[in-house]
Every structure is written in C-alpha cells, then in structure tokens.
Amino acid sequence: MIVRIATEGQYELGDAQQASLNELDNEAVAACDADDEQRFKRTFSSLIEFVRKGKPVGDDDLRPSDVILPPADVSLDEAKADFNGEGLIPG
Amino acid sequence: MPGLSGRMSTVIKAKISKLLDRAEDPSETLEYSYQKQIELLQNVKKGIADVVTSKKRLQLQEQKLRDQVVKLDTQARQALAAGNEELARTALERKNVAQTELQSLDSQVAQLEQQQEQMTASEQKLRTKIEQFRSKKEVIKAQYSAAEAQVRISEAATGVGEEMADVGLAMQRALDKTENMKARADAVQELEAAGTFEDLTSLTPGEDDIDRQLKQLSSTSEVDAELAKMKAELGTGSAPVGELGAGTPSAGAGAEQTQQQSPGQAS
C-alpha cells in the first residue's frame, strides 16, 4: 500500500505492515481524543517514523495513495481542528 | 479506514475530486488538470518568493537589532564610567530586550529557511510529476481503447491531483507561518518605533509605558549580573577614584579635558 505523509511525500509499505500502521494510528487518535499533547506528539512521531521506513515512491510515479497522514509537524490543535472537528468531515 | 489517516485521506481526496470533478470526459480531465497543474506551479513560485521576501525583511531587522545591542552596550559602559549607574542599568535593560528579540528573530529566519527549502523541493517534485503526466497521457491515448484510456488517465490524474493538493497544503502552511512571522516582525517594529531599542539620548520622563514594558520583558537578574560584570571590568566599586576607568576611552577623554581646562584657567 502507498502511504503519503502530507507535505512530505509517498512511501510504499507491504501488506504485512498494515496492521501495525492501524495500531499506531489508533494510538495517535486516542491521544488526540484524550487531548494529551505529550502523548499525541509521541504516538504520532512513532506513526510517522514507521511510515518513513517504507520505500519512498519516485517523483515520476503517478499512483495515488491509499492512505494520507497529516504533516509530520502537525500540532494537537491542528489535528483536532482539521481532522476531528465538525467542519471538514461530517460524521 | 478510521483514525487520523482516514480523516486526512478523506480531506485530501475531497479536495482532489473537487479539483478534477469539473471535467467529465478524459480529454477534458487532462486539459483541465494540466492547466491547473501549471497554475499551481506558478503559485508555488510566488509562495517561495513571498517566503524569501519575509526572510530578507527579518534579516534586515536582525542587523538593526545587532547594531542596537552594540550601541547600548557601549552606552552602558560610558554611563558606568561616568558614575551614572541608573542610566547604565536602563541601557542594559534595553540591551536585554533587544537581545531577546534577536534570538527570536534568529529562530524565525531559520524556520523560513527551512520552509523555503521544503517549498523548493515540493516545486521540483510537482514539476517532475507534471512532466511525467504530460508524456504518459500521450502514451495512454495511443495504446489503449477509449474506455481503458479513460480509466488509466483518470488514475494518473488522481495521482497528480493528490500531489497538487499536497503541494497546495504545504504552501498554505508555509504561508500561514510566514504571516505569523510578519505579525511578529510588525510588533518588533512597533517596539522600535516606541523607542524601546533607541539610544538613551531619547529617554524622556514621558516614556513610562516603555519602562513598564522593559520591566516586564527583561530579566532583572541578568541585568544585575551584567552590571556587576561591567563594574568589575571598569574597576569601579571599591576602587579608588584615581584608578577609575584607566584605559577606557571615556575616562581618558575626561582626563584630557581636565588637562586642557587647567592651562585655560591659569591664563
């Protein structure tokens, strides 16, 4: 699967890695929901580091991503406002 | 997919479909998205130019503040050599404010530097994808049936569209940060206009507000420490008056004046 880290680039991960990705993602979401800045920074960095271990997708590759992550330097407030709030994504 | 990635994917994908959704047949999709791509590249270039302009402005302010720090330090020494500790303290307080601002400007310039690099890299990446898309669409049209070509071209357009949305997001974030810095630079300029970093000849009793700001902003203990250090360097304190400031320009100038005055008074 192809995962994009927003404002950074795309990485290709194997199917076997999808479970770990989901797990790390859920941890970041839990920290975000708990409104815990420290925990969010820690869990989100682990998620980003995990994706960065994947194979970078070449600039001349036009395949779209399966998953897109927020930028690596996203703040808890941004994460909450952009991805958690009522505005952008209903439901 | 739930989670942060799911939410983010939804946001970006909504942007992409909005970007591409005006065109219904593949050739229109191609032309429309290609046109959009070129437009975005131009915007990225403009964005980079904005960041560079802000950086230059901050660097100019940095230089002015550096000059002020040197000037205020000299003034503090002169005031102390002349025995005016209160004036020396005020000069050091102002120097302290200017130095704090300088540090914050330093880190902002570094941030802008990083943004400029990131945006330049984004521009390069987008340019490569656009070139790839342009050559690929011709190959697809030549190789596949109309229906198959439509599917493949849509996929490629989606991939490029995603890159465009991403570069758009990167640019938005960079420009937001630049805006914040501009606001900060304006605030520093206001402090400058209010005379916070000005030399002490402009100090008047009416500047209570600045004095209050100074007390808030500067660390008294730092100023005390620096004042003590300066005193030690100048040999003031318990040292006899005759040894005061030996070798310092202002004390030397004072001695010369005394010497010059003596013959004048004698004649």
pLDDT tens-place string over residues B201-233:
444 444 445 455 555 545 566 788 888 888 888
- Written as one letter, the residue type at A54 is G
B81 touches B255 (CB < 8 A): no
Per-residue confidence of chain A (91 residues) as pLDDT tens digits? 899 898 889 999 998 888 888 888 888 888 888 889 999 999 999 999 999 999 999 888 888 888 888 888 888 887 776 554 432 333 3
pLDDT at B17: 67
List all residues of chain A from 27 to 66 with a beta carbon under 8 Å from chain B. 28-29, 32, 44, 47, 59-66
Residue burial A59-86, b: 16+ Cβ < 10 Å; e: rest: beebebbbbbbbbbebebeebeebbbee
Give the residue on A whose Cα is nearest the Cα of B119: A7
Higher pLDDT, B127 or B201: B127
Chain B nearest C-alpha distance from A73 (Å): 10
Question: Does residue B112 register a pLDDT over 90?
Answer: no
Greatest distance between any 2 Cα atoms in chain B: 113
- What dihedral do alpha carbons B113, B118, B120, B126 form, nearest 10°? -170
pLDDT at B20: 60
A contacts of B180 (beta carbons < 8 Å): none
Chain B nearest C-alpha distance from A27 (Å): 9
Chain A nearest C-alpha distance from B126 (Å): 8
pTM for this predicted structure: 0.63
Residue burial A7-29, b: 16+ Cβ < 10 Å; e: rest: bbbbbbbeeebeeebbebbebbb
Give the residue on A whose Cα is nearest the Cα of B159: A64
Nearest to B136 among A6, A22, A62 (CB): A62
Nearest to A7 among B136, B155, B169 (CB): B169
Chain A nearest C-alpha distance from B215 (Å): 32
Mutation for A interface: B8, B34, B130, B160, most A CBs within 10 A: B8
Mutation for B interface: A15, A23, A59, most B CBs within 10 A: A59
Task: Please give the average per-residue pLDDT across B108-129, as a whole number.
Answer: 85
Split at pLDDT 50, 70, 90, the class of B262 is: very low
Rounded to whole angstroms, the Cα distance separating B126 from B151 reads 22
Split at pLDDT 50, 70, 90, the class of B127 is: confident
Contacts of B262-266 with C-beta under 8 Å, sequence gap 24+, read: none
- Over residues B17-73, the pLDDT tens digits come to 665 665 555 556 666 767 777 888 888 888 888 888 888 888 888 998 999 999 999
- Are B159 and A62 within 8 A, CB to CB? yes
How is residue A38 written in tokens?
Answer: 């420290």
Burial class (CB in 10 A: 0-12, 13-18, 19+), A38: exposed
B157 touches B33 (CB < 8 A): yes
- Are A7 and B10 within 8 A, CB to CB? no
Q: Give the E-state strand segments of A1-91 in sequence order.
A: 2-5, 9-12, 55-56, 67-69
pLDDT at A46: 93
CB atoms within 10 A of CB B98: 26
| Cα dihedral B73, B76, B81, B85 sign | negative
- Cβ of B53 under 8 Å from any chain A Cβ? no
